[in-house]
Amino acid sequence: MIKRLWNWFWRPNSKFGLGAILIVGGIGGVIFWGGFNTFMEYTNTLEFCISCHEMESTVYQEYKKSVHYKNASGVRVICSDCHVPKEWTPKLVRKIKASNELFHKILGTINTREKFEAKRLELAEHVWASMKETDSRECRNCHSYEAMDFHKQTRRGGEKMEKAFKKGETCIECHKGVAHKLPEGYDED
């Protein structure tokens, strides 16, 4: 009985035995998964993010002037730290949504500074809405109300942060324009 089962599993029937199919499929799956995951992580690098001249000549230049680029503590945040979730499933969802950005890259929707500036408010509002939906999840990878010492902040800043904490507000409600300039036409009210 065991010999027959062993032969059924390994002996070729038509072209391949089941065991060979499983082994080749398993190896192929590992190679595919490794390649897929490696590429997905590559798309989280600063070099990839600014590889489009639209990003390099606009938002990257603004980011280089921000506290997220250069600060007293020497901690640098890159594009993906703010725009891509760390957890795998939300990260995959974000990458799928990014395919829309690639589509518009191909169409040339924002391929000049003028076109980019004309769409900046719309693009920013999409990011702000997403951040509000997730309770500023990416901000909270580094910042948390619980770890803040409101008394070590400026008087006004500490008061505002403490109020926001008590009201359950999320970071993006007050911190729009923290790494990029605010779009023309943006009304804080």
Task: Give Dmax (Cα) for the chain.
Answer: 81
Predicted pLDDT at 16: 60
Q: Where are the domains of the chain?
A: 18-139, 143-173
Task: Tell me how crowded residue 20 is: count the other CB atoms within 10 A of its CB.
Answer: 14
At 1 the pLDDT is 76
| 18-139 CATH | 1.10.3820
- 184 neighbors 120 (Cβ within 8 angstroms): yes
23-54 confidence digits (pLDDT tens): 888 899 999 999 999 999 999 999 999 998 78
Of residues 80, 93, 76, 75, the one with CA closest to residue 49? 80
**What per-residue confidence (pLDDT) applies to 52?**
85
- pLDDT above 90 covers a percentage of the chain that reads 64
pLDDT digits (tens, 9 = 90+) for 51-99: 987 888 889 999 999 999 999 889 999 999 999 999 999 999 999 998 8
Mean pLDDT of the chain: 88
Residue with tokens 């032969």: 7
Q: Spell 68-94 as b/e; 16+ CB within 10 A means b.
A: beeeeeeeebbbbbbbbbeeeeebeeb
Residues 6+ apart with CB under 8 A from 121: 183, 184, 185, 186
